[in-house]
Amino acid sequence: MAIDFPGLSSVQTAGNRGKVNEQAADQAPRAEASAVQSTPSGQSDTVRISDTAQALQRSENAQGSSDIDTDRVAQIKAAIEDGSYKIDNERIAERMLQFDKLLD
């Protein structure tokens, strides 16, 4: 996977692909430690979910609930609990083979 760095030519980035800068790796733990120490106590991190992500989550929640057959789920749970749920190994194997053929 290629990563584009704005402001750098392809020659500058191509020479460094796949290489770890040992000096930066050595300094990373120290930089993290100093960042943690410089955070004032009592202050917490915050996360903001974008409006697009929130809309996507709302649409998934609205659609997801109608696609679930709650009666069937309850039947399967009851069968598992009382030990009567049977697994059809041949059917599972056949479905796995069908799926594998789709990937070819």
Model confidence pLDDT, tens digit, residues 67-102: 778 899 999 999 999 999 999 999 999 999 999 999
Q: Is the separation of the CB atoms in 5 and 13 below 8 Å? A: yes
pTM exceeds 0.95 = no
Best CA proximity match to 14, nearest among 25, 4, 29, 24: 4
pLDDT band at 104 (very low <50, low <70, confident <90, very high): confident
DSSP 39-85: SPTT--------HHHHHHHHHHHHHHHHT--HHHHHHHHHHHHHT--
